[in-house]
Structure 1
Amino acid sequence: MRQTFLAIGIGVALVVAFFWGNLVTPAVNYTPTVGTNDLTDLNYPFRSFLSESLKRGELPLWSSAISSGYPILAEGQIGALYPLNIAFAWFPTLTSINLTIVSMYLILFLFSFLYLRKIRLGIFSSIFGAMLVTFSGFGANELMHFGMNISYGLFVGQLWLLEHYLQRRGSIVPILLMGSLLGLSVLGGHPQIIFYSLFFLIAYWLVFWFVRREGTTKKRMSFLTLLAGIVLFGVVGLGIGAGQFLPQLEFTLNSTRASGLQSEAISRFQFPVSDLVTFLLPFSKYLTGNSYSALVSNGWPRDEQYVYMGVVGLGLALSSLFQLRKSGPNAVFFAAAAGAALLLSFGTQFTTGFIFQLPPFSFFRLPFRILFLTNFSLAILAAMVMDRLSLRVSKRGFKNILQILFLGAVFCISFLDLNINAKKLYPEVDARQWYAQPQVVSFLSDRLRNQERVVSQQYFYATAKIFLEQYQIWNNPNIFINLRNLLPVFNNLLYQIPMNVGAANSGGLKIDRYNELESEIFFRGMEFTDAETVKISDSFMFINRIMGVRFLLTTSPIEHFLLQKAYEIPFETGQDSVYVYEFFDYFPRIMMVPRAEKATPKGIVEHLMKVDFDPKQVVYVEEDADWGAEGGYAATADFDRYTDQEIEISTQASGNGFLFLSDTYYPGWKAYVDGQETRILLADYAFRAVPVPEGKHSVVFRYEPRSFWWGVRITLITVGLTLVAIVGILLVKSKKQQRTRGNRS
């Protein structure tokens, strides 16, 4: 126990030292080759949204400010059900973020230390190995993805408990605790890391179940016992994680990943064989100069392919490969795991890449993320070699002080090496300046009414122009602070500015139908034909107007008869201004429409692209709608109340019609007309409409996802049963021990 407390103390000191700037300045880390990342533009605004939701007494099931409505909890990266996230969300957002950083790295360090001690490594080598696991490669580069590092740390915790179980093979308490950590990982982690780690854990379980079976003094356990343990682990894990798993499964089935990803995504996001050199020279594959190829090559996901574990760590790990016969089965297993994960990360460069085209592998982008198993395995191998070296040093009669100085120097050099390169990967900038409210927010907040929305150009075009034409200011972080006036990705959540874009660019999951329209306006609708000219498509204008968009944010002057420049924000850096354009004759967010026409999905998309109908006069649906006004039609619709999860609308019409709401259609939403539930029609390909009779009526839309509420029930029941089982087993064990001691006396 004393050793564990020592490790905790050292772990805290290392984490604080590694993130000193974040905690003291306070600073935030950005990606210099892109100007933004998911720490600044996803995790920070998501945490702010979680905090505001909890303070209102609700869970963040849905955000109406992202992509015209988005199931933010089901997407997963907000981690709304992870206990530590809930606890930290009550602090100011920046403090909350820093607490998460400290906690997830400390958890990773502590579990790594405990595992290494469990396989009988010395204290120093266990601390050294835990340091490598925590601050090198995957651990360092996924600072921007909290969920991935949370799953990484909890995976190591499951491995420690599994090793504990395999060594004793008695009580099932370690399996129940493993399942609990798996459940926590589902609640707050990342599916891809969980999925890959499960393969590792089960392989470890199977291998060492049989490798060590001959050496146990207890009765051999049958294969059915092995299978029962694995099933129990999975049931407890999925049961506890059901509150997140079921909504996420529902979202996946309604997302662009429902049928898996295309092979081109696998080949694009694989680890190039030529990048093996970055294990030793982490930035050697970055291109110099300000060419377009350098911009693309150095940008995302280059930063996520960071695998550097230090010269000392890598050298120790590679040296272990020459001693595998003497090192025992653990070393052999980790060497094989490191090699297998590395081979799979190469994707389609080798024939093994076909695996990523098979479900459920095909549901995940970026197959190179499996490299976390390579980084982890190499760190364990390095710790094993360090353990043998430290023993040799002590046997050669070094005086204690010299031994401590030598090993301490090796440790400090490794830590500083990792720290320096991690800060080069993600430099720090003053968080107070970075998160200062952009000037554009005041302009928009003063003018937006009736839930009107904002659309923004691609962030990439703004940064690309600076990189290619004003390279002399590229290393000035103020240019990226200025570009926050574009409200990139999810930053609008910080200021309650509704937008119709966001998920198509950075959402882990994207609603299938809506993503087609969002991609049309965000990726194809604004065509930057050269550095100064922007071509706006008719479909871009029409779809944005249907979505109730009033303002467009861009860094390029635009001439279009339906757009008028409303505001300009110049910058002292000399970069292009941010312009705010106002749409002329945009449609309101809610409209009473007199009639509906049935059409196929393909036909509706063609109407939207051709701009050949008036959304105020007809709504396109995909089922028979024997309803609507006859003759003249006059109607009004007004918001009485609009929140993320409930919308109240008053309507008045001279005849039967359809209330059109330009919010995303998604399962879980229910509609009520004068308190009576009515069906929601899939309108204009991706939105909502309900039939409303003539006269005055009250219409309510309410988000009541059954997948979430059933999931939460299963989570609570599983947590309760698991606690009862653990307490019961421990009580029985305690009574047996007391009875045994009594018999002996």
Structure 2
Amino acid sequence: MIDQPTSPGCPPTGDDKSTAVSWRSWLIVAAVATGLSILFWAPLYQGGGLIGGDIYTYFFPQKAFLADQLAAGELPLWNNRVGHGYPLVGESQTGLFYPFHLLYAVLDVNTAYNAVQLLHYILAFLFTWRYVRQLGPGDTAGVLAAIVYVYGWFPPRICLEWAILGGTWLPLALWMAEQFLTDRRRRDLAILAVTLALQLLAGHFHLAFITQLVLAAYVPGRLWLARQGLPETSVASRFRLLTATALTLVLAFGLAAVQLVPTWELKQASQRDNVSGRKYDPGYGHLPFAYWTQVVAPWKWYDAGFDHVSQIDAGPADTNQIEAHLYFGLPTIGLLLVAGLAWLRQRRIDSRLMLWCGLGALALAYTPAWHLPITRHLPGFGFFTGPGRYSIVTTLSVAVLAAAAWQWLTTRSLLIRRGGIALLVSASFFPLLTWDLWDVSRKQTYAVFMQRSLIDRVDASPVTARLRSISEQPVRLFCDYQNLPTLLGVASTPVYLGLGPAEYFDESLAMPEPLPFERTATPEQIDWLQRAGVTHILSRHPLDTAAWPVKLIERTFDPAFLQVAYHGGDVPLEFHLYELLGSRGRLAWLAPAKSTDTDRQPAVLPRTARLTSYTANRITARVESAAGGRLVLTDLVYPGWKVSIDGKPAETIRVDGMYRGVDVTAGGHDLVWTYAPSSIRIGAVISLVSLVLFVTLSLVRRGRFGLVCDQS
């Protein structure tokens, strides 16, 4: 890779000659990107896995459910394993419509999960390099920027799947925006629309929101403040270019509407509808002021296995070392200091670098929680936790500045005349930076490598075998490892959901706390479990059968799965699987109301209720009764679920504040519950219309549009 020369104190101007990239460069950088991904994530290439953080409490349970349903030939719109169910599309992080997740239909879950992560690391590297090349610096400088951005910000967050999935698209969006402002080609707008739509389809949305904010500042900043490198024709038509970019963002929302509309529906019925509730704090995951020093003093903060940031006064909200991580590498800081002093002496700095300084500084200023009294009430800002995530913009800013600094340094006349010095600098700088970031990625994380992934051990678990042998009704398990038991093919409570139905977070509906995992349950808690349809309990301690209405059905150490899941297999644990007696189960008749007259109690008439099929989007049952009554399905009431009796629509009655009830007359009846939410249909129609509009605008003759004209 050969860097293009540049003028002192700034990168090249961004003309076609300096920003053109050959296929040879693409192949070389792709090889570098792949090599670095192997260096950082070799165990994943070897078929291993990760455990820690949210990996097995959130992401693998979702992806395993998706893979199971796709293998069964069903496109799941509802997840019936977590708690009493939740809208899979609305929650968003399963990413049902994200194209990369098609891998879960053809690969095993662990291989697909690893492949998706690794592909995004490679793509993020390539996109960052290419965006920096669009600004003018050469290939080597672009590689430096990609290293700082990709391996400075993402590896500690490997336990957060959404980080790399969302962060991959930020540099691509900037590349397309920059290229459009320079060349004014409709093709670039089309790719930008697809990029932003893909980022939204990946789910979670926070990094997509940050990307949109960056574009909202970057595009007008380039057109009005940092015009260096833009042709005069672009500057003269800047209002039209800004309008075209804004309309592209609107089109991206339309393309992703099939994901966004269901999420908006869930948001209205979620714990985030009231951001002041105790179960949701938008300040969680901020970056305290004191923790900013990690950038220049990593030895003070980074210690494997110890979270230093949680030991300091973090301010008005909690945080952790992953959400608050910000590091660029000490060699990067040294490079910026050297170049910065030289630039100050020359008093000549590229306006684009000043723009990035401003963006990075604004993002950094947002990372503490001081702004919450205002921003928690603003659209978008109050929806997400993790102010520390805005540091992704700061990291990209530093990456761009580092690329410009490298370009300036390596094109000094002394280094050009003495090529050996430049080679020596490169040969020492890049390995040192890579080692520094690799070392920090191992110290500053919750994730641990496993030679054999946890999900590949599920079938070897005796608890799995026992639960799968239960055929009377679907199992709902009470367990202290949130969501993990869903990997065994059963439903599990309590739940862990970042965006979930409000019923799970309503204190009047949830199990009374503290939860009875290491204590005897109260009568109120046992009553809640029975009414909630919990059929089994998995405990790490033997239960007192005098206080618990349970029957022991399995006692095991489960060294293959549960031992590893809880403590990595280092601490021997005994697991006890109980059947909970007196539970409603998944489907039950409600007892008739008792009369106050003891001589006139209602007669107990024979009646039965059994599920005949139970899938993600459809449930069928056969019921028999002599007098009829109210039937309850202990799954969550949610818009889109409809019930019919013998093919005729029936009214859903909310039972105990959250379950699906229906009144049934005497006799035998067939009941069918189906999930066909209007939000997905509306979103799909909007996406289809947007796709037609997108294709039309892409194929129509350019001369018909005065908004954007190609430069001939």
Same fold (TM over 0.5): yes
Equivalent position of 1:453 in the other structure = 476
Equivalent position of 2:116 in the other structure = 100
5 Å-filtered alignment, 1:375-414, equals 375-392=395-412, 395-399=415-419, 402-414=421-433
Equivalent position of 1:120 in the other structure = 136
TM, length-normalised to structure 1: 0.81
5 Å-filtered alignment, 1:610-625, equals none
5 Å-filtered alignment, 1:193-592, equals 193-211=207-225, 216-218=231-233, 221=236, 224-262=239-277, 265-282=281-298, 284-285=300-301, 301-317=320-336, 323=343, 325-348=347-370, 354-392=374-412, 395-399=415-419, 402-424=421-443, 425=445, 426-432=447-453, 435-437=456-458, 438-447=461-470, 449-457=472-480, 488-502=481-495, 505=496, 507-516=497-506, 520-521=510-511, 524-526=514-516, 528=518, 534-559=519-544, 560-570=547-557, 573-592=570-589
Structure 1 position 675 matched with structure 2 position 694: no
Structure 1 position 147 matched with structure 2 position 137: no
Range that drifts further, 174-183 or 320-329: 320-329
Letter matched to residue 524 of structure 2: S
Letter matched to residue 651 of structure 2: R
Deviation at 1:64, TM superposition (A): 1.1
d(CA) in 2 for partners of 1:243 and 1:127?
Answer: 36
d(CA) in 1 for partners of 2:263 and 2:97?
Answer: 12
Report the 3-state secondary structure (helix = DSSP H, G, I; strand = E; otherwise coil) of the residue aligned with 1:14: helix
Structure 1 position 73 matched with structure 2 position 89: yes
d(CA) in 2 for partners of 1:706 and 1:410?
Answer: 56
Q: For residues 434-472 of structure 1, what are the alpha-carbon distances to aligned partners after superposition, in whole Å with 9 as ceiling and x for unaligned?
A: 741233222322346311311102xxxxxxxxxxxxxxx
Distance 1:732 1:423, change over 3 A: farther
Letter matched to residue 355 of structure 1: T
d(CA) in 1 for partners of 2:44 and 2:30?
Answer: 20
Contact 2:227 2:351 in 1 (8 A): no
Distance 1:591 1:410, change over 3 A: same
Report the 3-state secondary structure (helix = DSSP H, G, I; strand = E; otherwise coil) of the residue aligned with 2:173: helix
Contact 2:49 2:110 in 1 (8 A): no
Contact 1:261 1:365 in 2 (8 A): no
d(CA) in 1 for partners of 2:312 and 2:619?
Answer: 43
Deviation at 1:130, TM superposition (A): 0.9
Q: For residues 569-612 of structure 1, what are the alpha-carbon distances to aligned partners after superposition, in whole Å with 9 as ceiling and x for unaligned?
A: 3478454422223322222321223658xxxxxxxxxxxxxxxx
Deviation at 1:562, TM superposition (A): 1.7
TM, length-normalised to structure 2: 0.85
Equivalent position of 1:466 in the other structure = none
d(CA) in 2 for partners of 1:519 and 1:593?
Answer: 18
Distance 1:545 1:352, change over 3 A: closer
Q: For residues 719-745 of structure 1, what are the alpha-carbon distances to aligned partners after superposition, in whole Å with 9 as ceiling and x for unaligned?
A: 343233223357999xxx99x9xxxxx
Larger helix percent: 1
Deviation at 1:567, TM superposition (A): 3.0
Range that drifts further, 45-54 or 244-253: 45-54
Deviation at 1:261, TM superposition (A): 4.5
Range that drifts further, 199-208 or 723-732: 723-732
Contact 1:15 1:105 in 2 (8 A): yes
Equivalent position of 2:621 in the other structure = 649
Task: Quote the RMSD (CA, aligned, Å).
Answer: 3.3
d(CA) in 1 for partners of 2:666 and 2:340?
Answer: 79
Distance 1:586 1:512, change over 3 A: same
Q: For residues 320-355 of structure 1, what are the alpha-carbon distances to aligned partners after superposition, in whole Å with 9 as ceiling and x for unaligned?
A: 65537522112112112221111111112xx57632
Distance 1:519 1:330, change over 3 A: farther
Q: For residues 484-512 of structure 1, what are the alpha-carbon distances to aligned partners after superposition, in whole Å with 9 as ceiling and x for unaligned?
A: xxxx333333321222332xx3x121110
Deviation at 1:395, TM superposition (A): 4.2
Equivalent position of 2:43 in the other structure = 21
d(CA) in 2 for partners of 1:102 and 1:525?
Answer: 38
Deviation at 1:96, TM superposition (A): 0.8
d(CA) in 2 for partners of 1:520 and 1:352?
Answer: 28
Letter matched to residue 543 of structure 1: W
Report the 3-state secondary structure (helix = DSSP H, G, I; strand = E; otherwise coil) of the residue aligned with 2:271: coil
Q: For residues 152-195 of structure 1, what are the alpha-carbon distances to aligned partners after superposition, in whole Å with 9 as ceiling and x for unaligned?
A: 11121111000011112x33332222111111111114311111
d(CA) in 2 for partners of 1:199 and 1:29?
Answer: 32
Higher RCO structure (Cα 8 Å, ≥6 apart): 2
Q: For residues 604-641 of structure 1, what are the alpha-carbon distances to aligned partners after superposition, in whole Å with 9 as ceiling and x for unaligned?
A: xxxxxxxxx99xxxxxxxxxxxxxx9876542211111
Deviation at 1:643, TM superposition (A): 1.0
d(CA) in 2 for partners of 1:673 and 1:416?
Answer: 65
Deviation at 1:269, TM superposition (A): 3.0
Structure 1 position 177 matched with structure 2 position 191: yes
Letter matched to residue 378 of structure 1: V
Structure 1 position 110 matched with structure 2 position 126: yes
Q: Percent identity?
A: 21
Deviation at 1:686, TM superposition (A): 0.7
Distance 1:291 1:522, change over 3 A: farther
Distance 1:656 1:289, change over 3 A: closer
Contact 2:117 2:165 in 1 (8 A): no
Contact 1:77 1:147 in 2 (8 A): yes
Structure 1 position 593 matched with structure 2 position 590: yes
Deviation at 1:7, TM superposition (A): 1.8
Equivalent position of 1:639 in the other structure = 611
1:51 aligns with one of 67, 75, 83: 67
Range that drifts further, 209-218 or 553-562: 209-218
Q: For residues 39-72 of structure 1, what are the alpha-carbon distances to aligned partners after superposition, in whole Å with 9 as ceiling and x for unaligned?
A: 3443333222222222333222111111111212
Structure 1 position 8 matched with structure 2 position 22: no
Report the 3-state secondary structure (helix = DSSP H, G, I; strand = E; otherwise coil) of the residue aligned with 1:29: strand
Q: For residues 252-303 of structure 1, what are the alpha-carbon distances to aligned partners after superposition, in whole Å with 9 as ceiling and x for unaligned?
A: 1111001325598244432111111222344634689999998999997322
d(CA) in 2 for partners of 1:562 and 1:304?
Answer: 42
Report the 3-state secondary structure (helix = DSSP H, G, I; strand = E; otherwise coil) of the residue aligned with 2:73: coil
Report the 3-state secondary structure (helix = DSSP H, G, I; strand = E; otherwise coil) of the residue aligned with 2:158: helix
d(CA) in 1 for partners of 2:299 and 2:477?
Answer: 38
Contact 2:110 2:453 in 1 (8 A): no
d(CA) in 2 for partners of 1:402 and 1:293?
Answer: 41
Report the 3-state secondary structure (helix = DSSP H, G, I; strand = E; otherwise coil) of the residue aligned with 2:493: coil
d(CA) in 2 for partners of 1:116 and 1:64?
Answer: 45
d(CA) in 2 for partners of 1:234 and 1:85?
Answer: 24
Deviation at 1:198, TM superposition (A): 0.9
Letter matched to residue 173 of structure 2: Q
Letter matched to residue 327 of structure 1: I
Equivalent position of 1:465 in the other structure = none
Q: Structure 2: state its 5+ residue gaps.
A: 1-21, 560-568, 596-600
